[in-house]
Amino acid sequence: MSGGSKRLKNLQICRPFVYGNMAVPLKEDRSPEIPTDHTHSWTVFLKGVNGDDLSSFVKRVVFKLHETYANSTRSIEEPPFEVTETGWGEFEISIRVYFVPEASEKNVVMYHHLKLHPYGPEAEQQKTNGATVTSMQYDEFVFNEPTESLFEILTKKPGAVLPAQKSMLVPFSVESENEELDRLSDAHAKVQANIRRLTERIHVLEQENSALQSL
Amino acid sequence: MSSADIRDMLDLPSQAPSSTRPPPAKRAKTDGKKLDGIHRELHNLLGENTHAVAVMQNKFKEKPNWMQKPSPWVWTPFKNRARKDDLELYHWVRGTPTDDEYPFAKFNKDVEVPTYTQEEYDKALADTAWTPRETAYLFDLCREYDLRWLVIQDRYEYEPEENEPPSIRTLEDLKERYYFCCRKLMELRRDASGVDWTPRDLEQYNAMNFNKDKEVMRKQYLERLLSRSPAEIAEEERLILEYRRLQESSKKLVQDRKELLRLLESPQTANSFAQHQTPQGLSQLAGNILASDKNKRRKGMPDTAAQVAGTPGSRGPDGTPTAGAHPQAIGQAQQPQAAGGQNGVHGTKQTQPQTGRGPAPATPAVSKAELAQSATAKKVAKRVPPGEENLYGISYHDKLVQGVYLRSTKISTLKPTVQAKVASILAELGIAPKLAMPTAKVSDRCEALQQAINLLIETKKQADKLEHEVKVLSSSNAGQQSDAK
């Protein structure tokens, strides 16, 4: 590795990823070890978009569950970075991501509210179906002025590529990004229109004002 | 009719299912604590299940025996063994008088004043100031009065013989003579018998180590202490307090001094600076500083020089790092030119240190491309084919704070009141406050949108203000006009 710890100035690399959870209601025939008041089996995860491997720059992910779980601090050192458990309640899970030592970066933390019950307009229907409930969030790691070693790691393969099409399995894609961009642009346009209208009104008012004052 | 249906009818937002669920119950505090010792007693007294009645001890006297005949008291004579004469006295004794020893006789203790023979005196106790006769008189008095010095001194009425000078003995003189003799006698007797002292004897010997001068001074001190006036006493107390205060603050002073010394000593020079003290050394040092400065400038020069040149064509030769001196010269040559604000800006920028080599905001495109030519970019270019930077998520920025963060955390910061208004407008426009996909483009656009909304709010404020003014003026004018009519 050439010159590991020098930092590349003015350089910013970002790597997208997805975190969240899936939950599925437990059926009648389940293993007797699970306490009877648990209603769902859920998995909280952190993974790359497109199924990319994050372990090249992520050393370990620590999921802190509710205190009532045994060993509530789950440290996952290898991919897949996920924790599967059973339970009955929704709570906030803190996800702390530690980077590889070559990065010389401190850890980042994010919070995810565990979703077990269906929500949204089709909630009732989904409840009766016994469908899997997912709650995922897209985010990006942004590395400002990465070290040379980290840069090498991150540029081995293109990591910031989003899948082009949206689909059931791929909730975050270029398509959805463009949708969001369009939404934002529309809003921006509306705001600009309003601003123009108001500035015109201001002109009119100023003229009136000066006219009245000269009286 | 489920709650979801009702909410649908009333157009209320759907309730998050989690709020109906209570958080996992905490274990209730168990009441089966064990209490120990004092806590148990206290709990018994104050807490639940107190004792209804406290325990009381029977402190009654025994029932007196009326049947028994009382014993008589007898007027009996007795002799006190402690007396030297045979005096017989009488006292009441209960019941039949026994012939026991008088119970108080045992308290007649004597002090052990040693007696010495004439030989012993001649050997050890001879003294110029004291005749043997006076010494003997002293010892008799001591024996008589049980070594009570005040009494002895009071009753000391030695009548010297004709050829002796009159004896005026202070209390200290008497004590000194007595203790001196006793010690000498002890030594003499030990040497004579060869039996060494027991520890108790040694103690006694050491206790009799009478130092007359010290005693005299001690008594003088005590005298003075007792005869202080209240003013003097107050003064002394004050001085003592001050002294104590000084002691404490001196500790602090010493600590502060140590800290300071440590600070002063701390920057340890790695190499001695003696080599720099000679004229040659100084010039060498100056040369070193200049060279390192040049190195720093050389890295920054291609940017500012190319900006000054302003055309892409001239970037070729300037892109090489060896052209360090030239761009500096070009830059300096351009500096006197007042041509256009751009140059002036860049001229001033040149004097700034390395980190400030940001271009003027008016030409962002040029500067970003410029950064692309920098040393960092060259390293990147080795790894990543030039057009595919997007695929790796690489971008160049002006001033970067080192470190890693999540993009979703970087949302613009405005004052909370303003932020609230912005948020409400965003809601009207149908944009959720949390971005669904915070990529670089999306977050940039969102930021721009928020700025635009901010601007909108301010414009609206201004418009409202003007409207209000117009209204006020027009109403006042109307009032004037109606008055004029």
What three-state secondary structure class fits B61?
coil
Q: A111 CA to chain B: closest CA distance, Å?
A: 11
**Residues from chain B contacting residue A1 (CB–CB below 8 Å):** none
Query: What b/e sequence results for B258-269 when a residue is b if at least 16 CB atoms lie within 10 Å of its CB, and e otherwise?
Result: eeeeeeeeeeee
pLDDT value at B30 more than 80: no
Q: How confident is the model at residue A90 (pLDDT cuts 50, 70, 90)?
A: very high
- Residue A66 C-alpha, separation from nearest chain B C-alpha, in angstroms: 9
Q: Is B91 helix (H, G, I), strand (E, B) or coil?
A: strand
Q: Point out the residue among A15, A90, A181 whose CB comes nearest to the CB of B393.
A: A15
CB-nearest to B394 from A11, A141, A184 is A11
Q: Are B141 and B155 in contact (CB under 8 A)?
A: yes
* Shortest alpha-carbon distance between residue A32 and chain B (Å): 21
Residues 6+ apart with CB under 8 A from B46: none
B409: which strand partners? Answer: none
pLDDT at B360: 40
User: In this complex, which of A10, A68, A201 lies closest to B397 when CB atoms are compared?
Assistant: A10
CA distance B129 to B133: 12
Burial label, B447 (beta-carbon count in 10 A; 0-12, 13-18, 19+): middle
**Is there a contact between A145 and B470 if contact means CB atoms under 8 Å apart?**
no
Give the model's confidence band at B364: pLDDT under 50 very low, under 70 low, under 90 confident, else very high. Answer: very low
pTM of the entire structure?
0.45
SS3 B258: helix
List for chain B the helix, strand, coil content (%; round to 5): 60, 5, 35
**Predicted local distance difference test score (pLDDT) of residue B358:** 39
Q: What is the mean pLDDT of residues B463-471?
A: 87
Q: Is the per-residue pLDDT at B313 higher than 60?
A: no
Which residue does chain B place closest to A136, by CA atoms?
B436
Interface touch B23/A13, C-beta < 8 Å:
no
Helix ranges (H only) for B227-356 are 230-265, 274-277, 279-309, 315-318, 325-334, 340-351
Q: How far is B247 from chain A (nearest CA, A)?
A: 49
Distance from the Cα of B416 to chain A's closest Cα (Å) equals 21
Q: Would you say residue B54 has pLDDT above 60?
A: yes
> How many percent of chain B have pLDDT more than 90?
18
| Cβ distance of A144 and B394 shorter than 8 Å | no
Q: Which member of B376, B462, B477 has the closest CB to residue A202?
A: B462
Is the separation of the CB atoms in A63 and A44 below 8 Å? Answer: yes
Segment B19-25 long-range contacts (CB within 8 Å, at least 24 positions apart): B21/A89, B21/A90, B23/A89, B23/A91, B24/A66, B24/A68, B24/A88, B24/A89, B24/A91
User: Tens digit of pLDDT for each residue in B82-119?
Assistant: 888 888 899 998 888 777 788 888 888 888 888 988 98
Locate the chain B residue with the closest alpha carbon to A135.
B436
Contact across the interface for B403 and A106, Cβ inside 8 Å:
yes
| B152 in Cβ contact with B220 (< 8 Å) | no
Q: Is B446 left (phi over 0), alpha (psi -120 to 50) or beta?
A: alpha
Cβ-contact B453, A191 below 8 angstroms: yes
B391 vs A115, A158, A190: nearest CB: A158
Higher-confidence position of B343 and A195:
A195
Q: Strand pairing of B88-94 and A133-144?
A: unpaired
- What confidence tier does B426 reach under pLDDT thresholds 50, 70, 90? confident
Asked if the Cβ–Cβ distance from B438 to A139 is below 8 Å, we say yes
CB atoms A144 and B18 under 8 Å:
no
Angle between helix axes B416-429 and B440-484 (nearest 10 degrees) is 100
Between A126-135, B49-58, B297-306, B441-450, the lowest mean confidence (pLDDT) is in B297-306
Partners of residue A62 on adjacent β-strands:
A75, A96
Higher pLDDT: B168 or B2? It is B168
Chain A: closest CA distance from residue B322 (Å): 20
Pick the residue from chain A with its C-alpha nearest to B458. Answer: A195
Taking 90 as the threshold, does the pLDDT of residue A50 lie above it?
A: no
CA distance A128 to chain B (A): 14
Q: Across the beta sheet with A73-76, what order do the strands follow?
A: A73-76, A58-64, A92-99, A108-113
Rounded Cα gap, residues B302 and A200, in angstroms: 46
Using a CB-CB distance cutoff of 8 angstroms, which residues of chain B are in contact with residue A199?
Answer: 459
Cross-chain Cβ contact A141/B4 below 8 Å: no
Q: Which long-range contacts (CB under 8 A, 24 or more apart) does B298-303 make?
A: B298/B324, B299/B354, B299/B374, B299/B375, B300/B354, B300/B357, B301/B327, B301/B328, B301/B331, B302/B327, B302/B370, B302/B373, B302/B374, B303/B357, B303/B359, B303/B367, B303/B370, B303/B371, B303/B373, B303/B374
Cβ-Cβ contacts under 8 Å, B404 against chain A: 99, 103, 105-106, 108, 141-144
Instruction: Tell me which amino acid residue B428 is.
Output: E
Nearest chain A alpha carbon to B437: A138
Partners of A15 on chain B (C-beta within 8 Å) are: 393
Q: Mutation target for B interface from A2, A5, A14: give the one with most B CBs within 10 A.
A: A14
Q: In 3-state terms, what secondary structure has residue B407? A: helix
For residue B441, give the nearest of A143, A181, A183 by CB distance.
A181
pLDDT over 70 for what percent of chain B? Answer: 72
| pLDDT of amino acid A10 | 83
Nearest CA of chain B to the CA of A142: how many Å?
A: 5
Q: What is the ipTM of this complex?
A: 0.81
The residue that leads in pLDDT, B127 or B163, is B127
Q: Could you give the 3-state DSSP secondary structure of residue A85? A: strand
Contact call for A160 and B466, based on CB within 8 A: no
Residue B133: pLDDT above 70? yes
* B448 contacts A188? CB cut-off 8 A: yes
Task: Please give the pLDDT value at position B16.
Answer: 53
Instruction: Give the separation between CA A52 and CA A158, rounded to whole angstroms.
Output: 10
> A158, B456 in Cβ contact below 8 A?
no
Whether B305 has a pLDDT exceeding 50, the answer reads: no
